[in-house]
Chain A
Amino acid sequence: MKPPAKLLFLERNTYRRRRIGDAIKMLPILGVILFLLPLLWGSRQEPALTSITGLYIFCVWGGLVIGLLVLTRLRGKSAAPPESDSWTNPQDPTQ
């Protein structure tokens, strides 16, 4: 018989976990964009200020940390008990 691999419809919890996983995957991409943004600031005559840029970078940094903290917590919360989780979904959720 076919391996019971890809399930089309998932339990609500498992589905939620996977979407949170997706969100976690998107964070570094968002981070790259936000960290590159200061390069577009200021002009040749009037470059951006170190203090303002520094503040901005630390804000983004903090945002990423908080974002991950919240997402990993949410993911932990929506986790089904390990046995039943692995039973309903033997495959890795992202693969």
Chain B
Amino acid sequence: MINANILLVVSLAYVVLLFAVAFWADRRAEAGRSTWLRSPLIYTLSLSVYCTAWTFYGAVGFAARSGLEFITIYLGPTLVVVGWWWILRKLVRIGKAQRITSIADLLSSRYGKSNLVGAIVTILAVVGTTPYIALQLQSVTLSFEAFNQVSPAASGGGVRNTALWVAAGLALFTILFGTRNLDVNERHHGVVTAIAIEAIVKLFALISVGVFVVWFVADGPADIQQRIDASAISQFDVDGSRWMGLTFLAAAAFICLPRMFHVTVVENEDEKNLEMASWAFPLYLGAMSLFVIPIAVVGLELLPADANPDLFVLTVPLSQGADGLALLSFLGGFSSATSMVIVAALALATMVSNNIVMPLYLRSRAGDGATISGDVRNVVLFSRRVAIVAILTLGYLYYSVSGGSRALSAIGLISFAGVAQVLPALLGALFWRGGTRTGAAAGLITGFTLWAFTLLLPNLAGQSAWFGPIMDNGLFGLAMLRPEALLGVTALDPLVHAIFWTMLLNTLAYIIGSVSSFPTPLERLQSVEFVNAFDQQSSPKGWSQSRAEAEDLLVMAQRIIGGRETQRLFAAQAQTQGKDGYLPDITPAFIETLEKRLAGSVGAATAHAMMAQIVGGSSVSVEDLIAVADETAQMMEYSNQLEIKSTELERTARQLRDANQKLTALSVQKDAFLSQISHELRTPMTSIRAFSEILREGELSVFEQKRYSSIIHDEARRLTRLLDDLLDLAVLENGQVSLNIEVDAIGDILDRSIAAVAKKDTKLDIKRRRIAERIKVQTDVDRLSQVFINLIANAQKYCDADAPVLHIEVSQVGADVIVDFIDNGSGIDSPQQAVIFEKFSRLSDHQRAGGAGLGLAICREIVSKLGGTIRYLPGHDGAAFRVTVPKALALAAQ
């Protein structure tokens, strides 16, 4: 038989083992050999702090009362961890980037490093966790008593104060290993390793009891199945809303519980650890819950009806005389309770010191500014130690006042619902940039108040007559305001009712508060940092350029994170800035880094406030933000311009290449032209000179005289025409031409042009469509007709078909008139097309050229003066030109 003394010795020995493990792990970490301590396995096991004594003992009790419903408490966390990619990954990333120390710190940091939000969350967490700590103390006491009932003779005075001793011991452990030093990363290797050991102990204990029940009490799985089917909980008739509500609640609690946040985010060494935890932790939870139903069923069968089902894990082995197993099971329960209390106390103490004590301390010293004397670290550590003691005292008081008689699971769920009030603000912090401090505070306060009203008050009503009337008649006697039937909602289970209303109104208050308020610049900066946590681009810095002295900052930082660490940080910063020594330039980036490092020790809000005291005033103003935004905008503008310029350059280069080609072609053409024009000029000149010499010598017949002088005349005319053309072109090019605007139909202009050309030659067949030519144009009709004449004359000269045909097609597109001249000759080769409108260009066949190759160049100048274009129209059998002129030439265009 195991008596209380043996129990005490065993538990003490176990506690000593934990101390030793924690001590060893801390030493190892200090020596820098902590790789093994950072393994994903340790991380996964540390997550098991979710499984408290409530889980260890209470799950079986829960199952004995309502069957499979207990499993929802595990399904929620399982789903959260399986869905790590959605929420946990982001939480861990932000936790690292912002050096978050607790869940209160996270919300405070996100909502503009606000003390208000941090304090609300801290109070909420303390109120929500205290009953839970009481629950752990109660379960340890109950388990002691369970042994006592079996061996009443051994009962002694020590057992009665079990809870007190346990609380004291845990406070000592937490203070020793949780507040030994003020770690910049807020990581506690000793605590985490001890918790990992405890995780193994409790899993091993529960599975041992399960194996014992299934294979030693019963005859294996088949027998157990029969027993389950024959038991009072054989039917799966859970209420759907409870099933969903509890799963949701457990999932929410897994994220929001201060201790869970601490092990998941704050103690996380490496984001990759999550990857293993994502499958290993659900496996752990599954193993923890695998034997719960069998133990419950066998317990219901074996033990008397008045036995407390919460203790089946202990009493079933005891009733079978398996004392060793019972002892193991006791240690499992003890482990569950202690690990929860240690981490919860540590997390809460961090929150209290960073979000309540430090802001008050700073405020009380506000006048001193940067010259606060003394080491701030001592204040922080001392406040944490006091907070740990206070929290455990609170838990103990709650336990002794409440009497510890109710079902464990009831308190657990109330506690869950309390901390779950953080969820809307937390999810908003991660995913909604519009969430503001006002909204977060409104949501938290609303949810918290409602939680107290709908869950805590009915729970207390059982013990106090004061609350009876409110329970029955509602607040202020209004039936609509009954705590368990708000607005007359009676169809829901009280717990689901509370979850429904608190979550609904909490979220509503958060959204309304956020939408109707305006965030400070710092809030907006932080919202970007949080919501876009995965973008690696650095966001605008929160600090503007400051005139603070590096030495002041060094002095302050030394008081918070210690001399050695500070000097290392400052020296490293100075080195990255390319400076020697310990004093870097005070750049916004440096201030940002330093603040984050400080935040890792004293929380975001406090660190920010301390920095502000030295750096001066508020860290960032709207003007700063705008300046930063301007800078960014300028950068973007600049890069845009660069991009535009580079494409422009590319385009220009291409144009230059084209131009070069054209120039080369033209140069060839020009050479040809020069020889041509000198030939053109010289030929008539030569004949004029020759014939005029003949005339001067006299002795010619009248006929000869006539003939020679008419040759001279013709040649002179040819020269004149050539010079006219050159002159005309020069005038047009210099823009000295004055237009004579008239209105006329295209058809009439064409008639005149054809008449002017036709007398020279009649071989060309011109095809027109008279109906289309009725369009009237307002332009310089003579000039336009000059263009037409040129084009028609070209067709006459160059169209080499046997039966040359020229199609003239007139059409109107928008405000423009288009006249196409298309013949059926062999057309113009594409290399030539590029240069035909250039001066001096002429198709290779010089023989047939009547002019000097200026015709099309003149045409182009004229049409452009008329506000239109003339282009070669490729894709036709013969040569095709398209003249486009505006229907009405605006006079201003001159």
A interface residues (Cβ-Cβ under 8 A, vs B):
1-3, 21, 24-25, 27-29, 31-32, 35-36, 38-39, 41-42, 47-54, 57-58, 61-62, 64-66, 68-69, 72, 75-76, 90-92, 94-95
Contacts and interface: CB of A to CB of B under 8 A. Distances in A.
B82 A49 contact: no
A79 to B, nearest CB: 11
Contact of A36 (B234, B244, B642): B244
Contact of A39 (B229, B243, B293, B642): B243
A57 B71 contact: yes
Contacts of B279: 64-66, 68-69, 72
Given A2-B643, A49-B229, A54-B71, 4 more contacts: A27-B82, A50-B229, A50-B235, A91-B536
B237 interface: yes
A50 B234 contact: yes
B536 A24 contact: no
Interface stretch (B282-290, B812-820, B839-847): B282-290
B413 interface: no
A65 B283 contact: yes
A47 B235 contact: yes
A3 B531 CA distance: 20
Nearest to A68: B279
B79 A50 contact: no
Contact of A1 (B244, B247, B286, B643): B643
Contacts of A65: 279, 282-283, 286
B238 A68 contact: no
A50 B233 contact: yes
A68 B71 CA distance: 20
A6 B534 CA distance: 13
A24 B85 contact: yes
A38 B67 CA distance: 14
Contacts of B286: 58, 61-62, 65
Secondary structure call for the A interface: helix
Contacts, number: 111
Nearest to B89: A94
B21 to A, nearest CB: 28
B236 interface: yes
Contacts of A29: 83
B409 interface: no
B86 A49 contact: no
A58 B221 CA distance: 14
B336 interface: no
Interface of B: 67-68, 71, 75, 78-80, 82-83, 85-86, 225, 228-229, 233-238, 240, 243-244, 247, 275-276, 278-279, 282-283, 286, 290, 293, 532, 534-537, 639, 642-643
B90 to A, nearest CB: 10
A61 B236 CA distance: 18
Contact of A72 (B83, B278, B293, B532): B278
Contacts of B236: 38, 41-42, 47-50, 52-53
Given A58-B286, A65-B283, A25 B235 contact: no
Contacts of A66: 279
A91 to B, nearest CB: 7
| Residue among B229, B235, B243, B247 having the largest count of chain A Cβ atoms under 10 Å | B235
6 contacts: A28-B79, A42-B236, A57-B71, A58-B290, A94-B534, A95-B535
Nearest to A1: B639
A91 B534 CA distance: 7
Contacts of A3: 537
A51 B223 CA distance: 11
A45 B801 CA distance: 101
A72 B84 CA distance: 12
A44 B240 CA distance: 13
9 cross-chain pairs, A with B, having the tightest CB-CB distances, nearest first: A28-B83, A92-B534, A68-B279, A47-B237, A53-B236, A47-B235, A95-B534, A48-B236, A51-B228
A25 B78 contact: no
A20 to B, nearest CB: 10
B243 A50 contact: no
Given A36-B244, A49-B234, A51-B234, A28 B86 contact: yes
Contacts of A76: 275
A51 B237 contact: no
A21 B83 CA distance: 11
